[in-house]
């Protein structure tokens, strides 16, 4: 009887052991999707930050948009958790991710009860933490592989996302200023620094494509983005920064910033597809 029980256990356990031994490691494509999922959370957080700041500075029309955008953020967080599981993300990185998700949800709940400038800064700190975590994941997965792939994936997180971040900060703070109707003295150097950073990251992006290229990108797309950024920066300089009687509609300023960010994301998506085709 004992022999039969042992035999039955062996029959049941052996396939499980075989499955465990031959279970495939997650592919580089899965990790590229993980990097992209973090990007989606970053973009959602940038938009939530901007709409929240616009509403808290007097743009009543943005209130419903804030709640709608939070729902989109939750969807992006759910996707991120799913992809991180598929990627078998290490415990340390998963713990960092879970902490950021927890802090982001906590901020969403309390944001409208706090000081607008403090909320803006806290969202910004969380975004920076997401970019740092994404950088760690990229280094851990891709640094030991093909150098061109590593450099390309790293560029997504270290150039394109900081570009969207600085456009997002200009959009978020600027729409709040427009909603309020005047620009505070302390906001002038901050807004100017966003514009300086935007141009710096745009030039870095352009230099990368000149040296490395991307078959899925036409030169006109980079030119179109430059025009969008130039127009947006000029709008901020002439209608928002340092102005005391602002008549510019806050939603119009926000939407024009979104157009510029969409232009960056178009380039991001083309670059991501180019990378994936090589994996």
133-189 residue pLDDT tens: 999 999 999 999 999 999 999 999 999 999 999 999 999 999 999 999 999 999 999
- Residue found under tokens 């998506």: 269
Instruction: Check: CB of residue 240 under 8 Å from CB of residue 248.
Output: yes
Structure tokens given for 199: 């141009």
**Does the pLDDT of residue 3 top 90, yes or no?**
no
Phi, psi of 153 (to 5 degrees): -65, -40
Residue 195, H or E segment: helix 187-212
Closest CA to 47 of 172, 218, 226, 224: 172
Q: What is the mean pLDDT of residues 260-278?
A: 97
243 conformational bin, left if phi > 0, alpha if psi -120 to 50, beta if neither: beta
**Does the pLDDT of residue 1 top 70, yes or no?**
no
The predicted-structure confidence for 12-56, as pLDDT tens digits, reads as follows: 655 555 444 455 789 999 999 999 999 999 999 999 999 999 999
The Cα 140–Cα 142 span in angstroms is 6
The Cα 68–Cα 169 span in angstroms is 20
Instruction: Check: CB of residue 263 under 8 Å from CB of residue 235.
Output: no
**Does the pLDDT of residue 222 top 90, yes or no?**
yes
- Residue found under tokens 């927890």: 102
**Does the pLDDT of residue 5 top 70, yes or no?**
no
Quote the pLDDT of residue 6: 54
Quote the pLDDT of residue 173: 98
Q: What is the mean pLDDT of residues 195-199?
A: 98
Quote the pLDDT of residue 8: 57
């Amino acid at each position: 009887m004992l022999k039969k029980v042992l035999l039955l256990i062996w029959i049941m356990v052996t396939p499980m052991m075989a499955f465990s031994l031959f279970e495939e490691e997650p592919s580089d494509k899965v990790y590229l999707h993980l990097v992209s999922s973090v990007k989606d959370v970053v973009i959602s957080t940038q938009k939530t930050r901007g709409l929240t700041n616009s509403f808290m500075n007097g743009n009543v029309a943005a209130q419903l948009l804030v709640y709608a955008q939070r729902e989109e953020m939750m969807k992006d967080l759910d996707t991120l958790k799913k992809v991180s599981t598929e990627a078998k993300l290490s415990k340390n990185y998963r713990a960092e991710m879970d902490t950021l998700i927890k802090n982001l949800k906590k901020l969403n709940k309390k944001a409208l009860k706090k000081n607008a400038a403090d909320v803006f800064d806290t969202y910004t700190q969380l975004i920076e933490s997401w970019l740092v975590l994404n950088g760690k994941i990229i280094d851990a997965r891709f640094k030991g592989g093909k150098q061109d792939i590593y450099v390309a994936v790293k560029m997504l997180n270290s150039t394109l996302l900081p570009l969207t971040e600085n456009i997002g900060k200009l959009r978020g703070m600027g729409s709040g200023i427009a909603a309020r109707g005047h620009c505070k003295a302390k906001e002038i150097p901050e807004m100017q620094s966003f514009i300086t950073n935007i141009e710096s990251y745009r030039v870095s992006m352009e230099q990368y494509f000149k040296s490395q290229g991307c078959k899925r990108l036409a030169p006109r797309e980079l030119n179109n983005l430059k025009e969008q950024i130039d127009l947006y920066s000029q709008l901020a300089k002439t209608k928002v920064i340092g102005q005391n009687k602002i008549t510019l509609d806050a939603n119009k300023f926000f939407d024009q910033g979104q157009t510029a960010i969409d232009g960056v994301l178009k380039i991001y998506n083309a670059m991501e597809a180019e990378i994936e085709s090589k994996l």
